[in-house]
Amino acid sequence: MAIAWHRARLAARLPQTATARSLVFTVPGWPGHLPGQHVDVRLTADDGYQAVRSYSLAAPADGDRIELGVQTVPGGEVSPYLADDLPSGADVEVRGPLGNWFVWRPEQTEPVLLVAGGSGVVPLAAMIRAHRRVPSSNAFHLLYSVRTPDDVWYGDELAAPDGHLDVRIVYTRQAPSGSPRGAGRIAAADLAEPVTRLGATSPAYVCGPTGFVESVASLLVDMGRDPATIRTERFG
Amino acid sequence: MADDNTHLDGNCLAGPLSEILSVEATTAWWRCPECAMAGPLAQLQVYGPEPGLTARCPGCAYIALRLVKEGRHIWLTMGSSTGAFRFTV
């Protein structure tokens, strides 16, 4: 039985970076979802032409409201329109929730490693936000790779004190002045400390561009992590 | 979606496969008949979206499945053989 397409109405648009937006839609009849799941968004032009793209859900289930993260892809067919042009109150179609593999369930009790590249932080944000609702939970360790300090999504939220979340941000192009770590891609040294906080079966969720995900996953395997504990999602 | 030079992974098949399967597909286990690598469908390498989606073994690139949508029809080929199932949706 096919998962239904739902009408989704744009309720709010929040800037995350110069080119990234959080979009909140109201979706009558939305069945709820798990942190890490995604939706397919379908746009239909006046001439009937349709385009479908996948976007991660950025927040835990909240009635008929869903939040997506949209990073503008220059020259893209869909993302610039969603990010900046879709009028508030306009409708698109969404199909979901989709995917049961790249998910975190609140009943999981091990410490968790989250590794994000760029907008790959979106499904991990849903996990972090869901984790905050669980009392006396084990810690989440987020390692978040961005190009520059201006490219951080959810900045205030990640900076807020949280005894169950530690956040490390790695800058690949330009680090803040005075930062002890220079700019550069994630290396084993960046993963070493958070990995020591994990148990043998603790899951690692890695999401980002394909090259980033491949690189981080092989670093983790080289560090002795069981490949079966590493869950990855690539977005091209 | 991916361009010609890169790939996504099987997570992106969740929506397209939901059109023809009643059970969520990305957690389905698969073992490569060529190199014996095993894992969930979510971890296959997926190329596309045009002319269709091709899911390959991450170990040896053996084709696990191909999915092509054409109007009201979805064509599903399992493995690297010819011969497809045509679903009407």
Nearest-CA residue of chain B relative to A206?
B43
- Quick check: is A55 in a domain? yes
What's the CA gap between B22 and A23, in Å, rounded? 29
pLDDT tens digits along A124-136: 999 999 999 988 7
Which of A64, A98, A132 is where one domain is finished? Answer: A98
- Quick check: is A116 in a domain? yes
Q: Which of residues 8-47 of A touch B (CB under 8 A)?
A: 38, 40
Measure A100 CA to nearest chain B CA, in Å: 6
| A120 and A82 together in one domain | no
The percentage of chain A sitting over the pLDDT mark of 90, rounded to a whole number, equals: 93
Helix axes A210-222, A188-196, angle to 10 degrees: 60
Nearest-CA residue of chain A relative to B43?
A232
CA-CA distances (angstroms) from residue A178 to A175, A183, A186?
8, 12, 19
Q: What is the pTM of this model?
A: 0.95
What's the CA gap between A159 and A201, in Å, rounded? 28
What's the CA gap between A169 and A167, in Å, rounded? 6
What is the separation of C-alpha B89 from the centre of its chain, rounded to a whole number of angstroms?
A: 18
Structure tokens at A162: 């949280």
| A154 and A210 together in one domain | yes
Which of A45, A64, A98 is where one domain is finished? Answer: A98
| A183 and A225 together in one domain | yes
pLDDT tens digits along A116-165: 999 999 999 999 999 999 887 789 999 999 999 999 999 999 999 999 99
- Quick check: is A104 in a domain? no
What DSSP state is assigned to residue A82? Answer: I
| A75 and A176 together in one domain | no
Count other Cβ atoms within 10 Å, centred on residue B5.
Answer: 8
A49 interfaces chain B, CB cutoff of 8 Å: no
Backbone angles phi, psi at A84, to 5 degrees: -130, -20
| A204 and A94 together in one domain | no
Which residue blocks in chain A are alpha helix, DSSP H?
A: 79-80, 121-131, 155-159, 188-196, 210-222
Is pLDDT of B48 > 50? yes
Nearest-CA residue of chain B relative to A227?
B39
The percentage of chain B sitting over the pLDDT mark of 70, rounded to a whole number, equals: 94
- Sheet strands (E) in chain A: 5-15, 20-26, 38-44, 50-56, 65-71, 91-98, 112-117, 140-146, 165-171, 204-208, 230-234
- Residue from A100, A122, A206, A226 whose CB has the most chain B CBs within 10 Å, to mutate: A100
Section A57-69 average pLDDT? 98
Q: Which domain holds residue A164?
A: 112-234
**How many structural domains comprise chain A?**
2
- Quick check: is A103 in a domain? no
Nearest by CB: A101 against B1, B2, B26 = B26
State the pLDDT confidence band at B1, using cuts at 50, 70 and 90: very low
| A85 and A157 together in one domain | no
- Quick check: is A106 in a domain? no
| A143 and A204 together in one domain | yes
